[in-house]
Structure 1
Amino acid sequence: MAAGDVIMDAFTTPCREMFVLLSGRVHTWSDPDHVNGPADDRLGPGAVFGFSAMLADQPIGPRAVAIRASTVARIPAAAIESAFSSDPGARFLARQVLTQARHPSGLPSYSLVDDLLDSPPLVVKPDTPIAAVAERMTVRGLDYAAVGIAPARYGLITDSILRRRILVDRLPLDTPAARVMHSPANTARLGDSAAEALIRLLDQDTEFLLVTDRAGELHGAISPRDLVVSPTTAGVALHEQIRRCDTIDDLVERTRTVPATLVNILDGGLSSTRVIALYGAMLDTIIRRAIQLVFHQ
Structure 2
Amino acid sequence: MTSAYRAAVACKHRAMTDFSDLGELFAFLSRHAPFDGLPDDERARLVADSAVREYAESAVILDGMSASPDHAYVVLEGRVGLWNFPTVAAVDSGDVDEVVGSGGVFGYVVILVGARGGPRAVALTEVTLLRLPAWAIGDMFSTPAGAAFLATELAKPIAAPSSDEARERTAGEIVRRAPVTCPPALSVREAATAMTEAKSGYIVVESELGEPLGIVTDHDLRARVISVGRPVTDPVTEVMTAPLHAVPESALSSDVLIEMLDRKLHYMAVLDQKASVKGVIQDVDFLTVPTSSTFALQRRIERAAAAELPEIGATIREIFPVLMRQAAPVRHVSGVAAVAIEAMVRRCIELELPVHPELSEGDLTWLSLGSVSRREVVPSSDVDSAIILTDMPGASAEEIEVRRSAALALAAAVHTRLEECGIPSDTNGAVAAQPRFCRTESEWLYAAGEWIDAPLSNNAMMMASLLVDGRPVWGDLTLQPVAGMYQHLSEHPRSFILMLREALTAKARIRSMRDVISLRGGTFDIKAHALVPVVNIARWAALSRGSTKLQTRNRLAAGADSPVLPDDSAEVLRDCFTILERIRMEHQVAQMAADRIPGDVLSIRRMPSLDRGLLEQCVREVAAVQRRMANLAQYLDAGEW
Specify if TM > 0.5: yes
Q: Is the 8 A contact 2:267 2:281 kept in 1?
A: yes
Superposed CA deviations along residues 178-232 of structure 1, whole A, max 9, x for unmatched, are 2221122111333433321111112222221012222223232222232222225
Matched, 1:37 2:97: yes
Distance 1:180 1:203, change over 3 A: same
% identical equivalent positions: 20
Amino acid at match of 2:96: N
Does 1:199 find its partner at 2:277?
A: no
1:172 aligns with 2:234: no
Give the gaps of 5 or more residues in structure 2. Answer: 1-62, 64-86, 99-119, 121-161, 356-641
Q: CA deviation at 1:171?
A: 2.3
Matches within 5 A, 1:88-237: 104-107=163-166, 111-114=169-172, 116-149=174-207, 150-231=209-290, 235-237=294-296
Q: Report SS of the residue matched to 2:166.
A: coil
C-alpha contact (below 8 Å) 1:231/1:268 kept by paired residues: yes
Find the residue that maps to 2:214 and give its secondary structure. strand
Aligned to 2:430: none
Cα offset for 1:125? 0.4
Cα distance between partner residues in 2 of 1:207 and 1:104: 30
In structure 1, the gaps of 5 or more residues are 5-24, 39-66, 68-102
Whichever residue aligns with residue 35 of structure 1, its letter is: D
C-alpha displacement at 1:139, in angstroms?
A: 1.6
> Is 2:314 the partner of 1:256?
yes
Task: Please tell me the residue identity of whatever aligns with 2:266.
Answer: E
SS in 1 for 2:204: strand
Shift of 1:105: 3.0
The AA in structure 2 aligned to 1:184 is P
SS of the residue 2:164 aligns to: coil
Q: Distance in 2 between matches of 1:244 and 1:111?
A: 32
Q: Distance in 2 between matches of 1:256 and 1:295?
A: 24
Match of 2:350 in 1: 292
Q: Is the 8 A contact 1:228 1:236 kept in 2?
A: no
Q: Aligned pair in 2 of structure 1 residues 212, 179: CA closer, same or farther (>3 Å)?
A: same
Pick aligned residue for 2:89 from 27, 51, 60: 27
Q: Contact 2:187–2:233 (CA<8 Å) still a contact in 1? A: yes
Give the C-alpha shift of residue 133 in structure 1. 0.5
* Distance of aligned partners of 1:218 and 1:152 in 2 relative to their CA distance in 1, 3 Å threshold: same
Which residue number corresponds to residue 339 of structure 2?
Answer: 281
Whether the aligned pair in 1 keeps the contact of 2:249 and 2:272 (CA below 8 Å) is yes
- Whether the 8 Å contact between 1:195 and 1:232 is mirrored in structure 2 is no
CA separation of 1:205 and 1:133: change in aligned 2, threshold 3 A? same
Q: Is the Cα–Cα contact under 8 Å of residues 212 and 277 in structure 2 kept in the other structure? A: no
Distance change (3 Å), C-alpha of 1:152 and 1:263: farther
Displacement of 1:291 after TM fit? Answer: 3.0
The count of corresponding residues between Structure 1 and Structure 2 is 207
Deviation at 1:238, TM superposition (A): 2.5
CA separation of 1:286 and 1:137: change in aligned 2, threshold 3 A? same
- With over 3 angstroms needed to count, the CA separation of the structure-2 counterparts of 1:134 and 1:186, relative to structure 1, is same
Residues in 1 aligned to 2:175 and 2:211: alpha-carbon distance in whole angstroms: 18
Contact 1:208 1:221 in 2 (8 A): yes
Judge conservation of contact 1:194–1:232 (CA < 8 Å) in 2: no
- Which structure has more strand as a fraction of its residues? 1
Q: From the two aligned structures, give the one with the greater helix fraction.
A: 2
Matched residues in 2 for 1:229 and 1:243: separation?
A: 23
Q: Return closer, same or farther for 1:181/1:201 CA change in 2, 3 Å cut-off.
A: same
SS at structure 2 position matched to 1:132: helix
Q: Deviations over 1:254-297 (max 9, x none)?
A: 22111221333345444444433333221111121233345689
What secondary structure, in the 3-state scheme, does the structure 2 residue paired with 1:222 have? strand
Which of 291, 296, 301 pairs up with 1:242?
A: 301
- SS of the residue corresponding to residue 175 of structure 1 reads coil
Return closer, same or farther for 1:125/1:133 CA change in 2, 3 Å cut-off.
same
Q: Distance in 2 between matches of 1:171 and 1:237?
A: 31
Q: Distance in 2 between matches of 1:106 and 1:147?
A: 34
Counterpart AA for 1:118:
R
- The separation in 2 between residues aligned to 1:141 and 1:106, in whole angstroms, is 29
Partner-residue secondary structure (3-state), 1:221? strand
- The runs of at least 4 aligned residues of structure 1 exceeding 6 Å deviation read none
The alignment partner of 1:256 has SS state of: helix
1:28 is displaced (CA, Å) by: 5.4
Name the amino acid aligned to 2:214: G
CA contact (8 A) 2:319 2:333 kept: no
SS in 2 for 1:105: helix
Which structure's relative contact order is higher, taking Cα pairs within 8 Å and 6+ residues apart?
1
Structure 1: how far apart are the matches of 2:320 and 2:295?
11
| Contact 2:290/2:328, CA 8 A, preserved across alignment | no
Letter in 1 for 2:240: M
Alpha-carbon separation, structure 2, partners of 1:152 and 1:269: 38
Asked if structure 2 preserves the Cα contact closer than 8 Å seen for 1:209 and 1:221, the reply is: yes
Give the AA of the match of 2:187. Answer: P
Residue type of the alignment partner of 2:249: L
